[in-house]
A and B are shown apart, each in its own frame.
Chain A
């Protein structure tokens, strides 16, 4: 953990250098290392050489406007795009040629943008659906999850289709906390939710950081992640165009505003 933080800081001072140019730490590989990633949906070429790195224990936010390629980057890591080239290493293991079901067992939990709550399954069934992974990462216990999101226990027997948007979002993240995943890819989890729910999700991210999870958040604006993320990447037209450490957020605010159009 402390080693991870030290590493994160070591990379901090060179914010705009592409991740691929940095020497890879052989002893403890990055939680996620993406080099020159291209991805397609059918004929349309969406990612044009993405480079990014999530160090163990780091919380990273991937910013960008609609259509910049945030969601596609996360989907490409999970193998859910129709084609991809380049390199994606998850805790040191190359996954670019692996089928989607071989990625999660390396310790990856994925929360899709549309939340992916199964309407015909109850809340409990949804919560217990993702199988436990062979990582043995202790992570957050079921009790701690219930303390973070008390609503979920009350709604245990409701079908997924009856949950409110906020409850669905809490369920979508809660179910990947308990599997032993230690790298979480969370797509747009604060979007369109009431402030009280966004706060609960923020507390959950802080809890994840304490427990040593590595987190990659994809967000359209940085209001939710400004106080949570250690580093920010900004995407535009399928590429990373800017990398900022949190300490340098204020310095770069103008450029960020221009890029995000906020």
Chain B
């Protein structure tokens, strides 16, 4: 078998590809956090819980209402977005103008609450969820068999990332968001309903987490704890990309997925910590993150 740096090429390519799939998830999750942070200066700790809810809703839809994956791909993000909207409107809005630490504490508390509720009903063992029949097959790449669903999940995530980027960088609505990030009161003085914009942005960021949850359901065990296992890594990625930077979230999400994959090949014990090592390095060299702007 051919080798590169003393590693079989097939293994290397395989891990690279899986890393890209992971990276696409990281990108979509950190994107939601970045959009919210950019506009509200608010660290949404409940993002992992929203991700988990997206996956749990998908499983519950099949279990209780016989709604298939495709239905839930549409419904679960809408439901999670609605939950996000209520959280912003009824709770976070009251904390506006106060130290951001209060919002962080609130969303952290919400995370514990949401996870606790799901745990009390479904335990922590996790439920299996099969990919839809259409995507049940595998793709023979020569060096590995890649489940067709992985390809779908990766492409869907990338498409959503691209769409979000276009929405923010190329549309009028996106211009309001970018302007609101810089000077919210002036945007409001121009006659734009800024509180509404904030609520919708929070709902959108939450829906992105929910969508990532739906896409993840057939890949990882659907369990009440799946969010908290992932969210710390996602926070590190947002910090590396630059808090609030949309492009930074996408690029560093994908890159970190690949780097993790490579770490598994070359020195697997480091693969779970490499993200945090990189975060430490980036914070030392560029405190605002790779794509962040110094304030």
Q: A-side interface residues toward B, CB under 8 Å?
A: 78-80, 99-105, 110, 112, 116, 118-121, 125, 128-131, 133, 179
Determine the chain B residues whose CB is within 8 A of the CB of A78 once the complex forms: 189
Determine the chain B residues whose CB is within 8 A of the CB of A100 once the complex forms: 185, 188-189, 194
Question: A104–B191 contact, CB under 8 A?
Answer: yes
A131 and B182 contact, Cβ closer than 8 Å, known pairs A121-B175, A125-B175: no
Determine the chain A residues whose CB is within 8 A of the CB of B183 once the complex forms: 116, 118
Determine the chain A residues whose CB is within 8 A of the CB of B181 once the complex forms: 120
Q: Is B178 an interface residue (CB 8 A)?
A: yes
B92 to chain A, nearest CB (A): 18
Determine the chain B residues whose CB is within 8 A of the CB of A131 once the complex forms: 190-192
A104 and B175 contact, Cβ closer than 8 Å, known pairs A116-B183, A118-B182: no
A180 to chain B, nearest CB (A): 10
A131 to B197, CA, bound (A): 14
Task: Name 10 interchain pairs, CB-CB below 8 A, sorted by A.
Answer: A80-B189, A99-B188, A101-B191, A103-B189, A110-B190, A118-B182, A120-B181, A120-B182, A128-B172, A129-B176
A101 and B194 contact, Cβ closer than 8 Å, known pairs A116-B183, A116-B186, A128-B172: yes
B52 to chain A, nearest CB (A): 33
A101 to B187, CA, bound (A): 8
Known: A104-B189, A129-B175. 10 other contacts (CB 8 A): A99-B195, A101-B189, A101-B194, A103-B189, A103-B191, A110-B190, A118-B183, A121-B178, A129-B179, A130-B191
Our pick among A112, A125, A133 for the contact of B191 (Cβ within 8 Å) is A133
Q: Is B2 an interface residue (CB 8 A)?
A: no
A110 and B189 contact, Cβ closer than 8 Å, known pairs A101-B194, A128-B172: yes
CB interface residues, B 185-208, toward A, < 8 Å: 185-195
The chain A residue with its CB closest to the CB of B191 is: A104
B164 to chain A, nearest CB (A): 16
B285 to chain A, nearest CB (A): 23
A110 to B185, CA, bound (A): 11
Determine the chain B residues whose CB is within 8 A of the CB of A129 once the complex forms: 175-176, 179, 187, 190
A110 to B176, CA, bound (A): 17
Question: B191–A80 contact, CB under 8 A?
Answer: no
Q: How many residues of B contact A (CB 8 A)?
A: 19
Question: B193–A101 contact, CB under 8 A?
Answer: yes
A102 to chain B, nearest CB (A): 8
B102 to chain A, nearest CB (A): 18
Determine the chain A residues whose CB is within 8 A of the CB of B188 once the complex forms: 99-101
Question: A121–B189 contact, CB under 8 A?
Answer: no
The chain A residue with its CB closest to the CB of B197 is: A101
Question: B185–A121 contact, CB under 8 A?
Answer: no
Question: B193–A119 contact, CB under 8 A?
Answer: no
A10 to chain B, nearest CB (A): 32
A162 to B190, CA, bound (A): 23
A79 to B178, CA, bound (A): 22
Our pick among B172, B179, B190 for the contact of A104 (Cβ within 8 Å) is B190
A125 to B178, CA, bound (A): 10
A133 to B183, CA, bound (A): 20
A125 to B182, CA, bound (A): 14
Determine the chain B residues whose CB is within 8 A of the CB of A103 once the complex forms: 189, 191
Question: A118–B191 contact, CB under 8 A?
Answer: no
A101 and B186 contact, Cβ closer than 8 Å, known pairs A118-B178, A121-B175, A129-B176: no
A184 to chain B, nearest CB (A): 12
Determine the chain B residues whose CB is within 8 A of the CB of A110 once the complex forms: 186, 189-190
B194 to chain A, nearest CB (A): 6
A112 to B178, CA, bound (A): 18
A36 to B266, CA, bound (A): 74
Our pick among A80, A104, A105, A133 for the contact of B185 (Cβ within 8 Å) is A80
Question: A112–B182 contact, CB under 8 A?
Answer: no
| Of listed B176, B188, B193, residue having the most chain A CB within 10 A | B188
A120 and B178 contact, Cβ closer than 8 Å, known pairs A101-B194, A128-B172: yes
B242 to chain A, nearest CB (A): 13
Our pick among A79, A102, A118, A179 for the contact of B179 (Cβ within 8 Å) is A118
The chain A residue with its CB closest to the CB of B179 is: A118
| Of listed A116, A125, A131, residue having the most chain B CB within 10 A | A116
Determine the chain B residues whose CB is within 8 A of the CB of A120 once the complex forms: 178, 181-182
Determine the chain B residues whose CB is within 8 A of the CB of A118 once the complex forms: 178-179, 182-183
| Of listed A99, A101, A110, A120, residue having the most chain B CB within 10 A | A101
B119 to chain A, nearest CB (A): 41
A46 to B183, CA, bound (A): 22
- Closest 4 pairs (CB-CB, A-B): A104-B191, A130-B190, A100-B188, A116-B186
A112 to chain B, nearest CB (A): 6
A118 to B190, CA, bound (A): 13
Determine the chain A residues whose CB is within 8 A of the CB of B176 once the complex forms: 129
